[in-house]
Amino acid sequence: MGFDELREFMVNTQLIPRGIRDERVLKAMRKVPRHLFVDESMQYKAYDDMALPICGGQTISQPYMVAIMTELLELKGDEKVLEVGTGSGYQAVILAELSREVYTIERIPPLVEKAEGRFRILGYKNIHTRIGDGTLGWTEKAPFDRIIITAATPEIPVPLLEQLSEGGIIVAPVGERLSQQLLKIRKTKGKVLKERHTPCVFVPLIGKYGWSEETDSS
Ligand code: SAH
C-alpha cells in the first residue's frame, strides 16, 4: 500500500470504529501526510496504531489520540488555538486545517526547527511557533479560544486557564507521570466545567507549572 492508501486505512480501521465522528477531523486526518512528520527510517510505521519516537526522547502521538483530542476541541474553523508541545508539528498541522490561527510552543529547539521546516514545505502560513516553556502560555497572543496540551501534566497550568477565552475549551492529558486521562475543560460564565475522557500515556510536560526536569525519567 502507498502512503495515501495507508492513511485511508488508518482512518477506516483506527478512527471511525473507535467513534471519531467529526467529518472535518476525519477529512484532516485523511489529508495530512503523517509520514512526513517522522524520520525517513520510521515512515513505513507512520500510519500504525501507535505513538512513534521523534528526536529528544519525545513522541508523535498515536493517530487516534490526535483525532480524539482534536474532536474534543470542537473546532468550527474560526478559532485561535494554542498548542503546548509542538513535537513533530503533526498535531499543529491538523489544527491548522481546522481553525484560523495556531500558536504552538515547544521547549526543545531542534524540534521547533524541524517542525517549522515541515510547515514551510507543506505551505501552512497560519501556524506560529515559539521556543519556551508553554506552561506559561503565550501572553502577547492571548486570549485563545482553544488550548491543547500534548504532554502529560499533573494539573492544568493556571496561566493557561487565565489565557482561555470565555466559552473556550482546553483539552489535556492530566494525571500521574506515567498514566493520565484526557480532560476537557470548558470555561463558561467564569465557571470551569470538567469532563473526563479516555485514559492515555503522554511524555511529561516539563516547566514551571508542569513537572521539573530533574525527575524526568523519559
Ligand atoms: N503534538 C506533538 C507531540 C508532542 S510530544 C506532535 O504532534 O508530534 C510532547 C512535546 O511536548 C515534546 O516535544 C516535549 O518536548 C514538549 N514539551 C514538554 N514540556 C513542554 C513545555 N513546558 N513547553 C513546551 N513544550 C513542552
User: Which pLDDT band holds residue 216 (cuts at 50, 70, 90)?
Assistant: very low
Does residue 106 belong to any structural domain of this protein? yes
Which atom of ligand 1 lies closest to the CA of 94? 7
Does residue 207 belong to any structural domain of this protein? yes
Q: Looking at the annotation, which residues are catalytic?
A: 61
3-class DSSP state for residue 23?
helix
Q: At what angle do helices 23-31 and 63-72 cross, to 10 degrees?
A: 140
Residue 125 burial (CB count, 10 A): 9
The residue to mutate among 150, 155, 174, 214, having the most atoms of ligand 1 within 8 angstroms of its beta carbon, is 150
Dihedral of the CA atoms 21, 95, 93, 182 (nearest 10)? -70
Domain that holds residue 131: 65-215
Which three cell numbers mark 122? 507543506
**Residue the block writes with cell 513533530:** 88
Nearest CA to ligand 1 atom 10: 85
Following DSSP, what letter does each residue of 94-130 receive, concatenated? Answer: HHHHHSSEEEEEES-HHHHHHHHHHHHHHT--SEEEE
Does residue 26 belong to any structural domain of this protein? no
Does residue 3 belong to any structural domain of this protein? no
Q: Which residues line ligand 1 (CB under 6 A)?
A: 58-61, 84-85, 87-88, 90-91, 105-108, 111, 133-135, 150-151, 203, 205-207, 210
CATH number at 166 reads 3.40.50.150
The answer to whether the pTM exceeds 0.75 is yes
Percentage of the chain surpassing pLDDT 90?
A: 94
Nearest CA to ligand 1 atom 17: 85
Q: What is the pLDDT of residues 50-106, one digit of tens each?
A: 999 998 899 999 999 999 999 999 999 999 999 999 999 999 999 999 999 999 999
Does residue 192 belong to any structural domain of this protein? yes
Which atom of ligand 1 lies closest to the CA of 151? 9
Maximum C-alpha span of the chain: 50
Nearest CA to ligand 1 atom 14: 85
Does residue 49 belong to any structural domain of this protein? no
Does residue 53 belong to any structural domain of this protein? no
The Å distance, Cα 189 to ligand 1 centre, comes to 30
Count how many domains the chain has: 1
* Residues ≥6 apart with Cβ < 8 Å to 214: none
The Å distance, Cα 111 to ligand 1 centre, comes to 9
The residue to mutate among 84, 163, 215, having the most atoms of ligand 1 within 8 angstroms of its beta carbon, is 84
Does residue 189 belong to any structural domain of this protein? yes
Q: What is the pLDDT of residues 105-156, one digit of tens each?
A: 999 999 999 999 999 999 999 999 999 999 999 999 999 999 999 999 999 9
Distances (CA, A) of 208 to 6, 149, 162, 211, 213: 40, 14, 15, 7, 10
Distances (CA, A) of 116 to 33, 119, 123: 15, 5, 10
